[in-house]
Structure 1
C-alpha cells in the first residue's frame, strides 16, 4: 500500500506543475502581487488592491519571460481586477467552481509571496461562506462566500490561485486574516459575471437600493406561513433612496426581493447588479403583523 504522504505529495506536485507556469508575478509602481492567466489571448485575473490605481505594470512568468500589461478593469467592491499582457503568455489555467468545495478539502495556493516567485503552499478548506468587507470610496460591500483556508498566504500571494486537487482555480487569494487564516475570493457564477463585465466595460455597474439591514430569524408562525427561516430586518433607510421612495421603513422584515427569498445580506446583494438598475423590483416585507408589497426602482451605485 502506498504511503498516504506520497499520495498527498503527488497531488500537490501535480497541481504545482500545472499552475506554476500560469501564475505571474505582478509589479506596479507601488507594490507587487500575483495574477493568473485565464484566457489564451493574454487576460490575467488578479486583485484590485494589487493594481491599485495603476494603469499598467509588468508581469513575469516562471519560464523567465516578462511582459508589460495594461489594466483592463478593476472592481474594488469584489477586490478583482483584469489585466492584459502585451505579449505572449502561457496557456490559461482552468477555472473551477467554488460552489462545489467542501470543508476539509485539499487546496493548493500558488503565488509570489514576499517576492519569492513561484511559491506553493497546501492546506485545506477551513471554512466556507465567510464574508470579507471591501470598500470603494464611501461604498462598503461584503464579498460573499469567501473561502477560508489554512494554506499559508503572505503579502505577494494576493491575486494568485487557490486550486483544487485537479489544478482548477477555485479562488483568488486576497487576504490574510490572522495566523493560519487565509481568505480567497470564490470562483463562482457571480465572480464570472464580474470578470465578464470588467473585460466588456472596464468596471462593474451595481444597483443601489438604500437599505441597511441585518439578518433576523423569523418567528415560528411566520416561518410556517412563508417557508423560510430568516429575513432581513431594516435597520436604516437612506434618505432620498429608492427604498425610501418605495415606502420601506426601519423595522420592516424584508422577506423577498424580485420574488426571491432573502435571508442574508448576500442574497440581496446578488440582485444588485446592472440588470436591476432602473427596473421595478417587487419587495415583500412583514410589518405590524401583515405582509406588505412595495415596488422599488434601484438606481445605479456611484462611488
Structure 2
C-alpha cells in the first residue's frame, strides 16, 4: 500500500491512549450520573412515605357560596399527625381527606391557616405513629444545589421531580396582596397538585413548601422557605392564626417629590401615602389624615407598604410606637399603638 495512504489512514484512527481517555471520561460521567441517581432515590426512600395527597370534595368561598373542591399535596412533619400544606389547597374546605403513598385514608382537621403566606396546618387524629420528614433550613442553601420535590401533580400520586436551586430570596404576592418573602426558585418541575408538597435537600430534609408556578413558563417554580414557614407554624399552633399588627389605614406606595427629599434631608426616595383612615382605629386616634405620607415607623425608614407590613408583626401589637409623616410640607411625629389585624 502506498505510504501516503497508510499515513492518512493512520491519522484517522484513534490511538490507544485516545480510546482510553474517552473511556475514562465516559466512566466518570456514568459514575456522576449514578451518584446523582443514588441521591435522588435515597431522598425518595426516606421521604415519600410522609407525603400525602389531599382531596377536598366541597368547599365554601369567602362569600358563602359552595364551590367545587380540589386536590393538592402535603406532608407529615411529626409522628403524631401534623401535616403542612398550602392554605389555598384547603381554604374553605368542608371536609379534608388525606391519602398516604401506602393507600391509607385519613380525615384531617384544619388547625389553622395563614392566607398571607399560603400556609396551612392540619392534624390527623388518633394514636397512630406516622412516617414523617424532618424540617431543615434554607439558610445554608446555595444556588445550583440539588433539590427534590415530591407531590401529586394533576392527580398522579407520589410524583418525584428533581432539579437545582435556581435563585434565593425571591418574593411573591399572596392572593391577599401581601408579599411573601424568602422564596426559593427552583427548576424542579411542579404542576397543579404539587402545591403544599415538600422541597427536599440531599439529606431528605424539608427546605421549602412548594407553593407556586408561573403559568405558561417552563421550569420556573417556587417554594416558601421552611425558615419562614416555621415562624408561621409556631403561631398557628399557639393561636390557630398568625397575629399581625394594624394601624388602621388603607395606603399605597408613592415616589417622593425631589423637593421633599432635599428639604427634609431624607435618604429614601419612596414612602407610603395614606389613602383612607379607619374610623376609631389607632391611626385615627393618633390624628392621621388621608393624604399623609408615612416616612418612618418606630425609627425605621419606611420605603413602601411591604416594609410597613414587616414591621407590623406580632411583636408590634399593643406596643406604642412612633410614626413620622409628611403633611403639607410639614414633618409630624405621632405616637400610636397598633392593634391586632382582624
TM range (shorter): 0.7 to 0.9
More strand by share: 1
Unaligned runs of 5+ in 1: none
Q: Distance in 1 between matches of 2:104 and 2:306?
A: 41
**Structure 1 residue aligned with 2:41:** 13
**Structure 1 residue aligned with 2:151:** 111
CA contact (8 A) 1:107 1:165 kept: yes
Q: How does 1:30-179 map to 2 (within 5 A)?
A: 30-87=69-126, 88-135=128-175, 140-178=177-215, 179=217
**Structure 2 residue aligned with 1:28:** 56
CA contact (8 A) 1:57 1:68 kept: yes
Q: How many residues align?
A: 293
CA contact (8 A) 1:131 1:146 kept: yes
Is 2:243 the partner of 1:205? yes
CA contact (8 A) 1:216 1:232 kept: yes
User: Deviation string for 1:242-267 (max 9, x for gaps)?
Assistant: 34554567574634x34455556544
Q: Distance in 1 between matches of 2:168 and 2:329?
A: 35
* Aligned-partner SS, 1:64: coil
Structure 1 runs of 4+ aligned residues shifted over 6 Å read: 215-219, 286-291
Query: Kindly tell me: are residues 73 and 5 of structure 1, through their superposed partners in 2, closer, same or farther at Cα, counting changes over 3 Å?
Result: same
**Structure 2 residue aligned with 1:195:** 233
Q: How does 1:243-282 map to 2 (within 5 A)?
A: 243=283, 245-246=285-286, 250=291, 252=293, 254-255=295-296, 257-260=297-300, 262=302, 265-282=305-322
CA contact (8 A) 1:33 1:113 kept: yes
Determine which structure has more spread, i.e. the larger CA radius of gyration: 2
Q: Distance in 2 between matches of 1:117 and 1:217?
A: 52
Query: Kindly tell me: are residues 103 and 294 of structure 1, through their superposed partners in 2, closer, same or farther at Cα, counting changes over 3 Å?
Result: farther
Q: Distance in 2 between matches of 1:8 and 1:95?
A: 22
More helix by share: 2
Query: Kindly tell me: are residues 259 and 19 of structure 1, through their superposed partners in 2, closer, same or farther at Cα, counting changes over 3 Å?
Result: farther
Higher RCO (CA 8 Å, separation ≥ 6 residues): 1
* Aligned-partner SS, 2:177: strand
Query: Kindly tell me: are residues 212 and 25 of structure 1, through their superposed partners in 2, closer, same or farther at Cα, counting changes over 3 Å?
Result: same
User: Deviation string for 1:8-44 (max 9, x for gaps)?
Assistant: 2222222211211111111121111111111221110
The Cα of 1:49 is off from its aligned counterpart by 0.8
Instruction: Give the structure-2-normalised TM-score.
Output: 0.74
Q: Distance in 1 between matches of 2:189 and 2:205?
A: 19
User: Deviation string for 1:45-89 (max 9, x for gaps)?
Assistant: 001111121153221112232211111111211111111112435
Equivalent of 2:273, from 202, 225, 235?
235
Unaligned runs of 5+ in 2: 1-27, 58-68
The Cα of 1:4 is off from its aligned counterpart by 2.2
Q: Distance in 1 between matches of 2:275 and 2:160?
A: 46
The Cα of 1:274 is off from its aligned counterpart by 3.0
The Cα of 1:202 is off from its aligned counterpart by 1.9
Q: Distance in 2 between matches of 1:218 and 1:129?
A: 30
Instruction: Give the structure-1-normalised TM-score.
Output: 0.83
Let me know the Cα RMSD of the aligned residues: 3.1
